[in-house]
Chains A and B, each alone.
Chain A
């Protein structure tokens, strides 16, 4: 079956928007994806017909809301093939999930002199929470290096593993470079030394089939908004035994079993980590996004995006002076580039005037910019709804702006 690109594009109302009188070419998907009508409708339907707080009332609407909310948890569980819905913790996003692990698992298990390993290509959200923890505990953050193609140096990574290593936290797909890391191998090596592994799947999950049991990762985190779902919702997956042993994160309503002024006892999984009223509509929207993706098929989406990346890379390389930042053999749908003296911000403004949305900046990965000795890059990132024709618009836009700069 051919990929139903026309139908998919029609499913995303914003794609027919005009920007500066030009058809929108949305290539900033790594920052956040657009939402299909099905997701928008699910939120409108909830607020119009089914909304109330969850887990708190006996009245009809509360039951409806709770059922929809818990159904979304079930959908996430199936989508990433977790063993149990108890392993699916709803949080605000990938950042929140990593902070949760740092503040609970980290605080309980990481002590002075212990080591945490991350990589040279992490997003700030997988650097700073560990730095804060290390500072507090007197632990040490170790950085596994990469080569200039943006590939992790596996021998060096392996050499970092030692009895003091208490956690490995790595990005599955880099948002600044597009690199897809050999996470199976990383997990195998770490597990051989009984070290747990957290995968930052924020970028990977919209582009690949994720099976946390096959991966055997200990924690997996992602954000809904990069998976065609609303902002304000993300997921922490953790192996049940690990989550059960962890102290709670925030205290409040929903996360307790009993409260007295002397002592409180905590709820079981997953509620132990979900203090307070959650992002109800957003969680339900995430469930709808997953339903939508399942109707297309993640394998087909991945194949479509791989074609787009190959085409974009091939055309970009024909442009004199264009340098691709991140040329790993295993790469997801991200094209990060520089144009010599033309600053990425100028590239961003100029492409915007042609209706093309790209990201210009350090992509919350300043250490990656330092490594390549550039202040910033321009980044085009592709999603399920992008087309070769849009890449042609991008490439011709880049050529014209080079001409204008002279």
Chain B
């Protein structure tokens, strides 16, 4: 059974229909990249998948949770779905280690010892083991973003969503975050990522989805999609200076 299953999802903001019938499924261990123009609905789709936005029709199943559920059900779903945004949104009043330990402690109720070992483990995974006691404000953007990733990982999610996590970073800091994600993918994490880094998508993603005007316009194995785009829109998008 797929980890993420999206069927016929429609999403409107007031009168504006942003998602116009999305079908998508992500198998365990798969890395799916979502590309597309600004405003095509990429972020909205990710936000729907962990219930930050409500959908008007369709069905979303994530890691065995339905999305139609109550507030309580939503929280259960979010325990299994990590999401990282373009802005890192670390908790500024907590040190790096505490940032990571908080949700496992409070939400999952794990012991302090267990939370700490999770934090150390995930920090090591993103290459920041030695910054456990640092304040978020004293880290570079790239480091903060990696802490944000570690913070999500400490919940042991079944799938990770990334929404343009490198877009706010200086070019020289992008690499470290992408490397972190690539390592995660190599370790078998199921990932759904919105990105403008075409080379990264082509190399790391098993499948790439091209969204256009609120629809999945074209989708396929990354190599194939980038080498031989079928639709005029994707050709234009890929030719539009990004590659």
Is A bound to B?
no
A residues bordering B, Cβ < 8 Å?
Answer: none
